[in-house]
């Protein structure tokens, strides 16, 4: 049991990588709070996880929602040992289609959501705690139509280094996990037609040396490593889990 009695706070814990990580954390002995902004998916995730986690409806674009989610976690569990700041989403938009509102809403979710999750959780965190942020393969490769999402992910990668330095004095480590192409509902929410989605998926898969999409559980295992004491001397890294997409 790598997380026996640890308290984990997982944003985006209702689907894909976050949900799989919640499952693995529970199996490793953790007490888990999951956060999602969609009530149906939150209830479904609670069922999948056997009703064990604290399931919190909150939109991480709103700081007040994050504060409330952290407070609910404090009331239920008293502290936080592990933060997995993972919630994220975007749509495909070419340069000419991007508006200030699009940029603002992408940053609100994919950067501010991560930043304020960490800011609000840290006061509840214990010495020896671990923060894991989900970045992206977009930090290493350019993909048309994803300029703003990629910029938000680059910002979170930078944040991991700075907070890794800033929180080291409290013995809180901050690391990132960088997914490649992982089979989750993420792609279905990007506003692509079914035909375009199939084409993008086939082209991405072809670029991966292992010639397949990754499974959410393959990410969850990397998150577990960073969350647990197995990585006790690892701080500020971006652990790439992408079948070699950006590395070979
Ligand atoms: N799948 C990939 O290939 C891939 C590649 C690179 C990076 N990533 C990153 O991996 C992370 C997880 O994505 P995934 O692939 O697991 O996708 P997913 O299955 O769509 O999960 C996204 C999660 O984020 C939550 N979320 C979205 N908007 C939210 C909001 N405003 N407030 C709170 N929660 C919100 C969703 O819950 P609700 O819908 O209930 O709000 C869901 O639980 C994201 O940060 C994504 O950028 C994924």
Contact 117, 136 (CB under 8 A): no
pLDDT of residue 52: 83
pLDDT of residue 24: 98
Task: Supply the mean pLDDT for the chain.
Answer: 97
Contact 171, 213 (CB under 8 A): no
* Tens-place pLDDT, residues 177-204: 999 999 999 999 999 999 999 999 999 9
pLDDT of residue 26: 98
Q: Give the closest residue (by CA) to ligand 1 atom 48.
A: 179
pLDDT of residue 160: 99
Cα of 229 to ligand 1 centre, how many Å? 26
Cα of 121 to ligand 1 centre, how many Å? 19
Domain annotation for the chain: domains and CATH numbers: 7-182+216-240 (3.40.50.720)
Q: Give the closest residue (by CA) to ligand 1 atom 17.
A: 186
Does 136 contact ligand 1 (Cβ within 6 A)? yes
pTM for this entry: 0.99
Distances (CA, A) of 116 to 94, 158, 190: 28, 15, 24
* Tens-place pLDDT, residues 57-108: 999 999 999 999 999 999 999 999 999 999 999 999 999 999 999 999 999 9
């Amino acid at each position: 049991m790598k997380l026996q009695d640890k308290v984990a706070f997982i944003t985006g814990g209702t689907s894909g990588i976050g949900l799989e990580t919640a499952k693995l954390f529970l199996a490793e002995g953790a007490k888990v709070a999951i956060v999602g902004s969609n009530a149906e998916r939150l209830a479904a995730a609670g069922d999948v996880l056997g009703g064990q986690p604290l399931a919190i409806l909150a939109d991480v674009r709103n700081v007040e929602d994050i504060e409330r989610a952290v407070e609910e976690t404090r009331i239920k569990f008293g502290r936080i040992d592990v933060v997995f700041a993972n919630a994220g989403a975007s749509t495909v938009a070419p340069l000419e289609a991007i508006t200030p509102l699009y940029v603002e809403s992408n940053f609100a979710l994919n950067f501010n959501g991560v930043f304020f999750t960490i800011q609000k959780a840290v006061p509840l965190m214990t010495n020896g705690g671990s923060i894991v942020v989900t970045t992206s393969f977009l930090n290493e490769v350019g993909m048309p139509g994803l300029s703003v999402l990629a910029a938000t992910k680059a910002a979170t990668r930078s944040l991991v280094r700075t907070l890794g330095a800033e929180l080291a004095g409290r013995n809180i480590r901050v690391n990132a996990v960088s997914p490649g192409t992982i089979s989750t509902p993420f792609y279905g929410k990007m506003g692509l037609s079914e035909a375009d989605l199939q084409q993008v998926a086939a082209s991405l898969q072809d670029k991966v040396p292992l010639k397949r999409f990754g499974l959410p559980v393959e990410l969850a295992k990397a998150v577990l490593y960073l969350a647990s004491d197995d990585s006790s001397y690892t701080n500020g890294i971006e652990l790439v889990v992408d079948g070699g997409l950006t590395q070979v």
